[in-house]
């Protein structure tokens, strides 16, 4: 009897490769859900819809709030540096 192994999704592979990033993301999501921290507007252009950027995954609650556009741009600059 052979068992067919299901391949991991792109998201599951990312989580496996980046455990600190994933844990920091979960910490912020839980804190937001519990009302411990509040989502703030983008620090660059100020729209309400923003994402948490972690400059240091060892400090999961120390985040910079950025809109999707500026968050992607920041990661793009970090990757090319």
pLDDT for residue 78: 81
Tens of pLDDT, residues 61-71: 999 999 999 99
CB 74 within 8 A of CB 39: no
pLDDT for residue 1: 55
- Which long-range contacts link 10-15 to residues 24+ away (Cβ below 8 Å)? none
- Count of positions (residues) in the chain: 81
- Those residues whose C-beta lies under 8 Å from the C-beta of residue 56, and which sit 6 or more positions away, are 62
Count CB atoms within 10 A of the CB of residue 50: 22
pLDDT for residue 40: 95
Tens of pLDDT, residues 69-81: 999 999 888 878 6
Please tell me the pTM assigned to this model: 0.79
**Residues of the chain falling short of pLDDT 50:** none
In the chain, where the domains are located? 10-80
């Amino acid at each position: 009897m052979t068992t067919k192994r299901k391949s991991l999704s792109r998201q599951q592979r990312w989580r496996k490769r980046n455990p600190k990033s994933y844990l920091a993301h979960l910490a912020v999501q839980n804190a937001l859900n519990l009302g411990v921290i509040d989502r703030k507007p983008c620090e660059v252009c100020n729209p309400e819809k923003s994402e948490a950027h972690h400059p240091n995954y060892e400090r999961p609650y120390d985040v910079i709030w950025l809109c999707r556009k500026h968050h992607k741009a920041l990661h793009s600059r970090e990757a090319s540096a």
